[in-house]
Amino acid sequence: MTVLHLLKTAIGAKWALNQIKELIKRGVDVHVAMPDGPMNAGYEALGVTVHKMQPEFSFSHPLKTMTRARALHQLVDELKPDLIHSHFVSTTLLMRLALRKTRIPRIFQVPGPLHLEHALLRGLEIASSNKEDYWLASCKWTQQRYIKSGVAAKRTGLAYYGVPPGVFTAPEPGSFRLKQQLKMQEEDLLIGMVAYFYAPKRFLGQTRGLKGHEDLIDALALVLKQYPTARCVFVGGPWDNALSYYDQVQAYASEKVGDAAVFLGTRTDVPQLYPQFDLAVHPSHSENVGGAVESLFAGVSTITSDVGGFPDLIIEGETGYLCPPKDPQALAAAICRAWQNPAERQKRIVAGLKQVTELMDIEHNARQVMTFYEHVLNTYSGSLK
């Protein structure tokens, strides 16, 4: 089976690399269309044929979009893959534009639900599809949203983007210690949030960043009234020219909570930082399964907003703590509730590790993808008879 994967970036999206590695183990001949960049070597080392191009639809550059569409059409004509597997909205739109009359089944594995939460964007994406198109959701909410929007259930599937085991480990004895650096006592509450800073998209009606940094700052202000020695570290830098927004958030935090909020910027030692948090908080306004995977694997008590794929992992009362999105008061209450009951916190940590290990096992996820490939090929060939 030959499958062409479409990626808009050669800088991040390691989740796609992890998935493709497992697909190769299962005998898939993988080709990837992606821009030139540092991730190319990682794919080539796996034996993937990398076609260096930008397979991304651009609304602001229509001429570039048409040039890219022609290049993708030519590549598909030459390669003749059994399936085409797209990982982003923008690569999916280009794929559909370029291959409108090409009779090859196409899969859009949906990495996040953001565009589905807006009726216009959701309608446009679905309207751009035809009988060649199938959807592979990476959380339950996404799959159900497509079905509720009129997509036939048999044209949808579910496969998480799994992660390799053993990534998050406790720091080595004598190594960097966050609480020591912050001049905290071991019994003081240390909250951690790991996420890039995405500037608000005004055209989507956003007034705060997608990841909810400001909500956690507001919640921290409330937590400090009960636990004045608490601190919160924010790990991650600005994404995609969001430096101005990053500076705004730091200024907002300084005004609201003073030095109780600490910004560490982009780090390469996140696996060693996670186990040092007493609580990990993911207050996103929109998300797939997000950073909850990381904190659960790291054995850290996890609090998330009740959006997207978070409830697939965080079951309130069992594996962690769920809060309404954009609600700092509810978030502060959950933080305090978790911190006040160590025994319950530990119980949920154990259950959370079990949940994430089962759900995000990368070999299991690869089997899910392969099963969907076979389903699509059988369904599609049957529809042509």
pLDDT values of the chain reduced to their tens digit, one per residue, 385 residues:
999 999 999 887 888 999 999 999 999 999 999 999 999 999 999 999 999 999 999 999 999 999 999 999 999 999 999 999 999 999 999 999 999 999 999 999 999 999 999 999 999 999 999 999 999 999 999 999 999 999 999 999 999 998 876 666 666 655 668 999 999 999 999 999 999 999 998 877 888 999 999 999 999 999 999 999 999 999 999 988 899 999 999 999 999 999 999 999 999 888 889 999 999 999 999 999 989 999 999 999 999 999 999 999 999 999 999 999 999 999 999 999 999 999 999 999 999 999 999 999 999 999 999 999 999 999 988 666 5
* C-alpha of 1 from chain center: 27
Q: Are 316 and 303 in contact (CB under 8 A)?
A: no
Phi, psi (degrees; rounded to nearest 5) at 229: -95, 0
CA distance 122 to 115: 6
Look up residue 372 and give its two tokens: 């969907």
pLDDT of 382: 67
pLDDT of residue 171: 61
Beta carbons within 8 Å of 281's beta carbon, 6+ residues apart: 191, 192, 193, 216, 219, 232, 302, 303, 304, 331, 335
Tell me the CA distances in angstroms from 379 to 81, 131, 283, one per residue in order: 17, 11, 39
Rounded to whole angstroms, the Cα distance separating 281 from 341 reads 17
CB 337 within 8 Å of CB 321: yes
Report pTM.
0.90
* Residue with token string 């309207």: 127
Tell me what pLDDT residue 167 has.
66
Q: Provide the strand spans (E) within 231-283.
A: 231-235, 261-265, 279-282
pLDDT value at residue 369: 97
* Sequence-separated (6 or more) residues with CB below 8 Å from residue 237: 196, 197, 246, 265, 266
Question: Which DSSP string corresponds to 35-71?
Answer: -SSTTHHHHHHTT-EEEES-----SS-HHHHHHHHHH
Note whether 366 and 21 are within 8 A (CB). no
How far apart CA 129 and CA 155 sit, in angstroms, is: 11
The full set of domains in the chain, from first to last, is: 2-163+361-383 (3.40.50.2000), 178-359 (3.40.50.2000)
Q: Which two tokens stand for residue 349?
A: 């940590």
